[in-house]
A = this chain, B = another copy of it.
Amino acid sequence: MAGKIVALAGGVGAARFLEGLASVVAPSRIYIVGNTGDDAEIHGLPICPDLDTVSYTLAGLAHPERGWGIRGDTFHCLQALTRLRAATWFQLGDRDVATHLYRRERLRQGATLSQVTREIRAALGIRAEMVPMSDSPVRTRIITRRGELEFQNYFVRRKARDAVLGVRYEGAEQARPAPGVLEAIHGAAGIVVCPSNPIISIGPILAVPGIREALRQTPAPVAAISPIVGGRALKGPAARMMKSMGWRASAAQVAELYRDFLDVFVLDGVDRDEARRVEALGIRTVVTNTIMSGVPQKKALARTVLKALELA
């Protein structure tokens, strides 16, 4: 098996799954394509929340519960910014600031986001390959009754309270996949869509011209893990967003969103009744425990997915 295991990844859910995956296969076999649709500029710093959540998790630095930032980080810079009357609704730890300062400086020097992402990954000792979905900016805008909101404004500042009427991936039409992404998909041994929000985590990746097409055409098997369990998202606003956008908040609905390229759908035991609906779309299903409550569960899920992709 020469090809890599390509993973399309959002934030926390993806990071947890990838942690399990990296402990059951050689990390160097993993090629992660990260969402940058929720990137933002805060205090002039380029923040890549999903890339960083995955990096920090794989480096063993992630905060265990919070879903963002670095374990044990302090917030002295943020407190001082508050004193300077800067808007500080977006939490930035002191060690985390270093990542963004480094990224900003390298981008300013002319490096691409792919290059910087690789540098950060190498410096943190991560052996899995990691690239952003694109080196060009793509920004997810949330359409609400109040108008269009920047993603972090909707998500962090307004605490994902607004009903989501739609999303728009600004810049996606002009974006190109990061160097190597299409080749990795074409030559993959298998592809995993991580258990991430289909609208705001996987949606932006699929909106980059060429990526969805490559997923349809690759000879590699494509599996997705449902981020919806029992009609609810394990983390984040996925279920509410799906409902307010007029969809069902169900595992089967997620499979439907990926039906044009999906071979296998991995869903939780509580959703076994939905398997038939998914199978009716021509997608194979694997029913298992998808709740990654600890290391054994993460590893077991990774092994199940590898098996579904016929890689184990």
- Interface of chain A residues 51 through 107 with chain B (CB within 8 A): 70, 73-74, 76-81, 83-86, 93-99, 101-102, 104-105
Give the CA-CA distance A104 to B45 in the complex, in Å.
10
Partner of A102, one of B74, B84, B95, B99: B84
For residue A146, CB closer than 8 A to chain B, the reply is: no
Taking a contact as CB atoms under 8 Å apart, the answer to whether A84 and B104 are in contact is no
Give the CA-CA distance A150 to B66 in the complex, in Å.
43
How many A residues have CB within 8 A of the partner chain? 32
Residues in B neighbouring A85, C-beta threshold 8 A: 119, 123
Q: A101-B44, A102-B43 are in contact. Are A95 and B120 (CB under 8 A)?
A: no
Give the CA-CA distance A277 to B43 in the complex, in Å.
54
Give the CA-CA distance A120 to B104 in the complex, in Å.
23
- Interface of chain A residues 108 through 159 with chain B (CB within 8 A): 108, 119-120, 123-124
Q: A83-B123, A123-B84, A124-B83 are in contact. Are A77 and B104 (CB under 8 A)?
A: no
Chain A residues touching B, majority SS: helix
Q: Quick one: closest B residue to A75, CB to CB?
A: B94
Taking a contact as CB atoms under 8 Å apart, the answer to whether A108 and B44 are in contact is yes
**How many copies of the shown chain assemble into the complex?**
2
Residues in B neighbouring A45, C-beta threshold 8 A: 101
Taking a contact as CB atoms under 8 Å apart, the answer to whether B98 and A81 are in contact is yes
Residues in B neighbouring A77, C-beta threshold 8 A: 77, 94-95, 97-98, 101
Q: A73-B76, A74-B76, A76-B73 are in contact. Are A81 and B102 (CB under 8 A)?
A: yes
Give the CA-CA distance A44 to B94 in the complex, in Å.
16
Q: Quick one: closest B residue to A83, CB to CB?
A: B123
Residues in B neighbouring A70, C-beta threshold 8 A: 80
Residues in B neighbouring A120, C-beta threshold 8 A: 84
Q: Quick one: closest B residue to A105, CB to CB?
A: B44
Interface 0/1 of A251-295, CB less than 8 Å to B: 000000000000000000000000000000000000000000000
Taking a contact as CB atoms under 8 Å apart, the answer to whether A79 and B95 are in contact is yes
Shortest distance from the beta carbon of A232 to any chain B beta carbon, whole Å: 35
Q: Quick one: closest B residue to A93, CB to CB?
A: B76
29 contacts between A and B (CB under 8 A): A43-B101, A43-B105, A44-B101, A44-B105, A44-B108, A45-B101, A70-B80, A74-B74, A76-B93, A76-B98, A77-B77, A77-B94, A77-B98, A77-B101, A79-B95, A79-B98, A80-B94, A80-B96, A80-B98, A81-B98, A83-B98, A83-B124, A84-B98, A84-B119, A84-B123, A86-B101, A86-B102, A97-B97, A97-B101
Assuming A44-B104, A44-B108, A77-B95, what are 16 further A-B pairs, CB within 8 angstroms?
A: A43-B102, A74-B74, A76-B93, A76-B98, A77-B77, A77-B94, A78-B98, A79-B95, A80-B94, A80-B95, A81-B98, A81-B101, A83-B98, A84-B98, A86-B102, A94-B94
**A interface residues (Cβ-Cβ under 8 A, vs B):** 43-45, 70, 73-74, 76-81, 83-86, 93-99, 101-102, 104-105, 108, 119-120, 123-124
